[in-house]
Amino acid sequence: MKKFVSLLLAGMMALSLVACGGSDSSSSAASVGSTPDASSAAAGGKVEALNIYGIYKSESTYFVNEAASIEKTLSELGEKYGFEATWHFNNCDGDPEKYMTLIDTAIADNADAIVTCIPDQTMSQSVVDKCNEAGVPIIAVDDGLIDTEGNKIAPWFGIDAYNIGYTAGEWMADYAKENDLLDDPSVGLLYMTMETVSSCVPRTEGEKDAWKDKLGDALSDRTYEADYVSMSEEAYNSASAVITAHPEIKTWLVMTPSENGVLGCGAVLEEAGLDGTSCIIALGADEMVNQWADGNYSVCRASAYFSGKVVGKEAITAVVEYLVNGTEIPAEYATPAVIVTPDNYADYVL
């Protein structure tokens, strides 16, 4: 059933950037200096209660799943260690001013720690400084808290961005070859990009490198890019400009850095009557698995699946171990991905 356009119009303002954090490495054991000294974390004896705030930039499916995983894991760890757990899930709707107000609220409420996905990474230093001054540990999930050089200045938990993009690029290259699309002059390659979001750039870099490694300069004369910031509406407008400018292309092979890119570009392809011949590979799949179950998004033929549930579980476990036992929080943790399709996603999705 074709529902791209109606789904896009209904949800474009509600869905925001889906999990665009990333790293080139899977993990790091070193601690980040912005976390208060671990030697004092458990110095006060048995922990009776923990008050944890989650402050996110949106209520996308990915973030909701991540927050639910944090709440569940926090409750389980509370039972294990004998403390009462309180979890606050807050959404700033992408508004930097509202975000800072939520940070202030958490500090005023004596938060024991803040788990956050910041709406604007240029705010990172001021947020970290504010939390350090208040003695509140802050942990970044998905999008890192970074300095002006792009270096992480707080512990970060997210996805292995480059390698996830590379996995998606390999799948698309194989799809193009297996379906004899490389010599067809009516086939075009489109990269949906998010160049202003530093943690998303490695995803596209991985996609491009995988395509080149497998297929060299195939389709280089018919390769295009469409950039957007985060929202599905932006992706729609950007993709529409490219696709409508090239009516000679009847089959589009599309790689995206987020599921909002799928929503936007998928709607354009449906409107143009090209969804039956085209192919999109998504990154994430929190949204796709829900829609595939209803027969939607047929043009999205696969996704490099990674789960915010895993990111959330690992992040809050590290926070609790730090607060209860004084265990250093890792500087980085990155979860990998696996390719899922409408036929096999039930075997992998948490």
Q: Show me where the domains of the chain are located.
A: 4-15+161-306+341-347, 27-159+308-335
Gap between the Cα atoms of 205 and 55, Å rounded? 29
27-159+308-335 CATH choice from 3.30.70.20, 3.20.20.140, 3.30.465.10, 3.40.50.2300: 3.40.50.2300
Strands 49-56 and 251-255: unpaired
Structure tokens that stand for 182 in this block: 């490389």
CA 208 to chain CA centroid, Å, is 19
CATH code of 4-15+161-306+341-347, in short, is 3.40.50.2300
| Predicted local confidence at residue 336, as pLDDT | 86
Between CA 152 and CA 143 the distance in angstroms is 10
pLDDT, the chain, mean: 89
* Residue 36: predicted pLDDT: 56
Judged by DSSP in three states, 345 sits in helix
Question: Do the domains 27-159+308-335 and 4-15+161-306+341-347 match in fold?
Answer: yes
Label residue 350 by pLDDT band (50, 70, 90).
confident
DSSP class of 50: E
d(CA 22, CA 181): 31
The region of weakest confidence among 146-155, 212-221, 284-293 is 284-293
In three-state secondary structure terms, 36 is coil
How far, in Å, are 40, 210, 294 from residue 243 at the CA level? 57, 23, 27
* Per-position b or e across 267-293, b if 16+ CB within 10 A of its CB: bbbbbbebbeebbbbbbbbbbbbebbe
Give me the helices (H) in 198-231, please: 201-215
Prediction pTM value: 0.73
pLDDT digits (tens, 9 = 90+) for 235-278: 999 999 999 999 999 999 999 999 999 999 999 999 999 999 99
Report, in this order, helix, strand and coil percent for the chain, each rounded to 5.
45, 20, 40
Q: Which helix (H) or strand (E) holds 241?
A: helix 232-244
What is the tens place of the pLDDT at every residue in 32-74? 444 555 444 555 578 999 999 999 998 888 899 999 999 999 9
For residues 308-318, average pLDDT: 95
Instruction: Render pLDDT for 183-218 as a digit per residue (tens, 0 to 9).
Output: 999 999 999 999 988 778 999 999 999 999 999 999
